[in-house]
Amino acid sequence: MNKLATLDNVFQYADIDSPEVKLDRLAHLLSQAPVTIYTCKPNGVFGITFLSDNIKDLFGYKAEEFLHNPDFWINNIHPEDRDLVISGMNAIHAGKSLLRKYRFKMKNSHWKWIRDRARLVTDQSGKPIEIIGAWTDMSELIQIEDALRQSEEKHRFLLEQINAGIMIHAPDTRVASCNRQTCNLLGLNEQQILGKVAADFECAFICEDETPMRFDQFPANQVIRQNKAVKNLVIGIVRSDLSDNRWVMANAFPEFNDEGEILNITVTLIDITEHVKSQEEIHRLAHYDSLTQLPNRFLIHERIDQAIHSSRRENQSFALLFLDLDNFKIVNDSLGHHRGDLLLQQVSDRLKDCLRKGDMAGRLGGDEFVVLLPNTGADGAAHVSSKIIEAINAPFDVEEYLLNIGTSIGISIYPNDGLESDTLTRHADIAMYHAKASGGGRNCFFDSEMNARIEYRLVMERDMYLALDQHQFQLHYQPQIDLSSGKMVAVEALIRWPHPQRGMISPAEFIPIAEDSGLIMQIGLWVLQRACRDIKTWLAEGHPRIKVAINLSLRQLQNPQLFAQIIDIIDETGIPPACLELELTESVMMENHDVTLDFMAQCRNFGINFSIDDFGTGYSSLSYLTKLPLDKIKIDRAFVKDIAKDSDANTIVSAIISMAKSLRLKIVAEGVETEEQLNYLKECGCDTVQGFYFSPAISYAMLTQMINP
């Protein structure tokens, strides 16, 4: 391989003024050099005086074109570069060498980049003789540099366009470069990042569990320690200029040399803040009640499970309180769900105010809440529940309404009342039911007898569903006798349940359970349908028209579809509406006065009659009775029972009859069992009686025989 000459070699040989240096050696050297050697005049237009033979290879020109035209070289320099070259040539006289890159016009009119290196040659006295220089073809190198520059620009452009932070770390984990997105994520500028390790940045980093990130946990440091890529690290960036943390997904990839040593580490940071926020929102919606922001049913049971695990490990107890608000439904029904929701929010605030750090209040749904009291026994639970009852009893200010409600609280204690979350919750719920049944506004601890009673209720509910499905219920009818004629003028429909295993079950036993469970709606509808169908049959068979009295419960009146259902049944059976008489107790009518009045008015307009059942046991006033579309008043059997021997009972019955007559209402006395009772009622002017003295409640078949003409 030939040794290529440099310009310094050329200058060295040019400076040797020795006859031993042969001209052919110099010529050979020049022909082998990867440069074109030239000499030019030291001043003026710097006309070319000598060119090496490879000039044509460089520019396509013959040497003569330069040598015969002193201006040829300067004139073919690119106009934008010409002044730079001339100033450089002039600077040579100051003892400086020339090193310039510029464009030169080739024979084919294309521009070629060349590098020009030259120096001044002087004689022994320092007088300038000529300038000797060398032109090197830089086109390929310039193209490579341009390509590299364009590649770098494209690379940087792409890095800036990528919606991710990118940092290049040196092997010592200091940052060598980064893109703009990195700066945006960290809230720093390049000067605050470059040359530093991540631990020294002017922002803090936290792990996915929100604990501070240690030095060895940073992505680049993990790569150095593990000598491999690190992927999918969730990192929080804590910035002083932001109220919320930024969250990124970090990946770190090392680049190795041939010896397996790390050259650099590329760390990418993908902004996942919105994703994290979405996940947090999903978690919040899945675990917290949207109205009160308290833990919901799912999180409540999760926390109870945690308390069970902790208490079992540490041999401790905890208390679970089950709360149900008293009279909340009245607020919701009368003032609307909006104010009901505002009330629930205030209740949740008061609940939290009653608790210690570490206690938990949660909302199961509706007006049911749960309180978890870790490391608490019966005494502590009683104290906290009393505190809660007192807080809830205080009036609530809801949009200018002062509302008074209360709460009933059931309490279960781990481990005595259960070892599992569901068991403890169910037992606290059972205890709450007993607190409410005892008048409300109090607490009640669970005991095993409660469980037996609740299980009995559940069995009864199940059996009532079966009774409806299997047509086990029956309607019996108790005649009502007109005292003036001695004839039967009406009957009261009374439900009976001959249970296939337990025999006849009293309505007093199953009706309250049906009321509480809501089954009374279906049972009551069945009674209406059965009674109307029986009336239809009697009329179709030619029996005299007979009025049937049917009891309606409070729960039935709360059904907004009740009137429409009654009309549908009447239309289906085709009976005269006047054959129906609906019985309401005083307490039922007073419970929801406006709704009851509307319902009664609709029914009266349709031809249906009404009576007050169990009159005298409630709190009706004379003025109230005058507003009701009534036809009859029924005297409760409690007063009838003692009229023969109790003067107070006599007075009450006489007063009721007198008042009814003044209001032009018919009077029915129920529970008549003796002739003495009957005679007294006749003397007082009672219109109609019913009771065992005449007949107990009898089956449809027996009544059909009784009313045969």
Compute CA distances 677 → 499, 642, 684, 691, whole Å: 34, 8, 11, 11
Last residue of a domain, one of 245, 277, 309: 277
Which residue matches tokens 């031809």? Answer: 607
pLDDT class of 397 with cuts at 50, 70, 90: very high
Is 147 a domain residue? no
**In the block, residue with structure tokens 């929701």:** 341
Domain co-membership, 261 together with 315:
no
513 lies in the same domain as 643: yes
Cα–Cα distance, 393 to 404 (Å, whole number)? 7
pLDDT in tens, 361-387: 999 999 999 999 999 999 999 999 999
> Does 187 lie in the same domain as 128?
no
How far are the Cα atoms of 141, 354, 368, 371, 653 from residue 358, in angstroms, in the given order?
73, 12, 21, 11, 61
What is the token pair recorded at 302?
């999760």
Biggest CA–CA distance in the chain, Å, is 171
**Could you give the CA distance from residue 189 to residue 202 in angstroms, rounded to a whole number?**
10
Query: Domain check: are 112 and 184 in the same one?
Result: no
- How sure is the predictor about 25, in pLDDT bands with cuts at 50, 70 and 90? low
Is the domain of 379 the same as that of 498? no
| pLDDT for residue 700 is more than 50 | yes
Q: Which of the residue ranges 116-120, 279-283, 658-662, 693-697 has the most confident prediction, judged by mean pLDDT?
A: 693-697
Residue 390: is its pLDDT beyond 70? yes
155: pLDDT strictly greater than 70? no
In the predicted structure, residue 530 carries a pLDDT above the cut 80:
yes
pLDDT above 90 (res 448)? no
pLDDT of residue 439: 85
Taking residues 297-315, what's their average pLDDT? 94
**CA distance linking residue 284 with residue 279, whole number of Å:** 8
**Whether residue 116 sits in one domain with residue 209:** no
Q: Write the pLDDT tens digit of every residue in 558-567.
A: 888 999 999 9
Confidence of residue 156 (pLDDT cuts 50, 70, 90): low
pLDDT for 495 beyond 60: yes
> What token pair was written down for 104?
């030169």
Structure-token pair, residue 514: 């049906």
Query: What pLDDT was estimated at residue 161?
Result: 59
Residue 479 is assigned to a structural domain of this protein: yes
- With respect to residue 630, please indicate whether it lies within any of the assigned structural domains: yes
Average pLDDT on 413-431 reads: 94
Q: Is the pLDDT of residue 614 over 80?
A: no
Question: 490 and 585: one domain?
Answer: yes
Per DSSP, helices labelled H in 288-373 are 297-314, 328-335, 337-353
Domain boundary among 80, 104, 139: 139
Domain extent at residue 179: 162-277
Q: Are residues 195 and 305 in the same domain?
A: no
Q: Is residue 148 part of a domain?
A: no
In DSSP terms, 488 is beta-bridged to 481
Give the percent of the chain with pLDDT over 70. Answer: 92
Q: Is residue 155 included in any domain, yes or no?
A: no
Q: Report if residue 126 sits inside a domain.
A: yes
Same domain as 484, residue 439:
no
State the DSSP string of 336-354: -HHHHHHHHHHHHHHHHHT
Amino acid of residue 295: P
Mean pLDDT for 326-340 is: 86
Query: Which range, of 255-259, 379-383, 429-433, 617-621, averages the lowest pLDDT?
Result: 617-621
Round the average pLDDT of the chain to a whole number and report it: 87
Residue 500 lies in a domain: yes
93 inside domain: yes
What pLDDT is recorded for position 668?
94
Can you spell out the DSSP letters for 108-145? TS-EEEEEEEEEEEE-TT--EEEEEEEEEE-HHHHHHH
Please give the share of the chain, as a percent, with pLDDT higher than 90: 53
Residue 13 has pLDDT above 80, yes or no: no
Note the pLDDT of residue 690. Answer: 95
Write down the pLDDT at residue 3. 38
Q: How many domains does the chain have?
A: 4
Q: Are residues 544 and 638 in the same domain?
A: yes
Least confident of 533-537, 578-582, 635-639: 635-639
pLDDT score for 330: 82
Alpha-carbon gap, residue 200 to 449, rounded angstroms? 67
**CA 226 from centre of chain:** 39
Lowest mean pLDDT among 283-287, 422-426, 470-474, 506-510: 283-287
Please give the distance of CA 299 from its chain centroid, rounded to a whole number. 12
Q: What are phi and psi of 580, to 5 degrees?
A: -100, 135
> Residue 157 — pLDDT band, cuts 50, 70, 90?
low
Per-residue confidence band for 305, with pLDDT thresholds at 50, 70 and 90: very high
DSSP SS3 for 181: helix
Domain CATH for 68: 3.30.450.20
**What tokens were used for 505?**
């079950």
pLDDT tens per residue, range 91-137: 887 777 778 889 999 999 999 999 999 988 888 888 888 889 999 98
547/586 same-domain check: yes
Domain closes at, from 385, 417, 446:
446
Looking up residue 482, the CATH number of its domain turns out to be 3.20.20.450
The long-range contacts involving 476-479, CB below 8 angstroms and separated by at least 24 positions, are: 476/697, 476/698, 476/699, 476/700, 477/548, 477/697, 477/698, 477/699, 477/700, 477/703, 478/690, 478/691, 478/695, 478/696, 478/697, 478/698, 479/690, 479/694, 479/695, 479/698, 479/703, 479/706
Q: Is the pLDDT of residue 686 over 50?
A: yes
Q: Are 265 and 255 in contact (CB under 8 A)?
A: yes
Average pLDDT over residues 296-321: 95
Q: How far is CA 687 from CA 87, 649, 659, 680, in A?
A: 137, 18, 13, 12
Average pLDDT of 147-153? 69
* Total Cβ atoms within 10 A of residue 337: 11
Backbone angles phi, psi at 117, to 5 degrees: -120, 125
How far is residue 269's CA from residue 22's CA, in Å, rounded to a whole number? Answer: 68
| 666-672 mean pLDDT | 93
Instruction: Look at the alpha carbons of 148, 152, 158, 161 in this order and tell me if their dihedral is positive or negative.
Output: negative
Residues 127 and 255 in one domain: no
Tell me what pLDDT residue 5 has: 43
Q: What is the mean pLDDT of residues 530-556?
A: 93
pLDDT of 7 over the 50 cut: no
CATH number at residue 343: 3.30.70.270
